[in-house]
Amino acid sequence: MKNKTLLSYRGPFYIELISVFGSNVRNYTNAYTNARKKLFRIFIELSQNVSNYSEDFHMVNNEYRIGVGELNLKEFENHFTFTTKNLIKRSDSTILVNRCNLINSSNISELRQLKREQRLNSPGEKFGARIGLIQAVMLSQNKIEYQYEEVDERFAYLSITVKIDKN
């Protein structure tokens, strides 16, 4: 098997959609005990990052925003990859890229410590715990791949890919 696209989507990341896609993700991975729980959890975390933080968004009832972005789930011989892509402010790019690099350069025990510190210090409420990316890497135990692509003077795309081993 070279690779097979299992799921591909571009649009607003409504929870109702994420939930249905998540249910499909569980079905795709039924045969793989290691991947099944991990992939679903990573799928939810990264999808909700798009929903919460994409700079391209829909307003719902003038009350809250739903981020617009892309997701792509692929199956390979021994692993899956899950990719999300969304618009960010170029002024946030250094912070985000540094964050990806810090996560990639940390081992599991350092990530666990980082996760604890981040969660304790997060203001909570609408900001959540801000540990979704750390959690994704802790679950997959693989480094993330990221790509940064400038769009114009103000915005860029950031895509994040996580590899999840089947067994």
Which positions touch other proteins (CB under 8 A)? 15, 19, 23, 33, 37-38, 40-41, 44-45, 48, 51, 64, 66, 112, 115-116, 119-120, 122, 124-126, 128-132, 135, 138-139
* Helix runs in the chain, H state only: 15-28, 33-53, 93-104, 108-121, 132-140
- How near is the Cβ of 2 to other proteins at its closest, in Å? 30
- Backbone dihedral angles phi then psi of residue 149, each to the nearest 5 degrees: -140, 115
**64 versus 91: smaller Cβ distance to other proteins:** 64
- How near is the Cβ of 64 to other proteins at its closest, in Å? 7
- 141 three-class SS: coil
**45 versus 55: smaller Cβ distance to other proteins:** 45
**6 versus 128: smaller Cβ distance to other proteins:** 128
Buried b (16+ CB within 10 A) or exposed e, 108-142: eeebeebbeeeeeeeeeeeeeebbbbbbbbbbbeb
Strand partners, 9: 71
Strand partners, 66: 58
- How near is the Cβ of 153 to other proteins at its closest, in Å? 31
**23 versus 27: smaller Cβ distance to other proteins:** 23
- How near is the Cβ of 165 to other proteins at its closest, in Å? 14
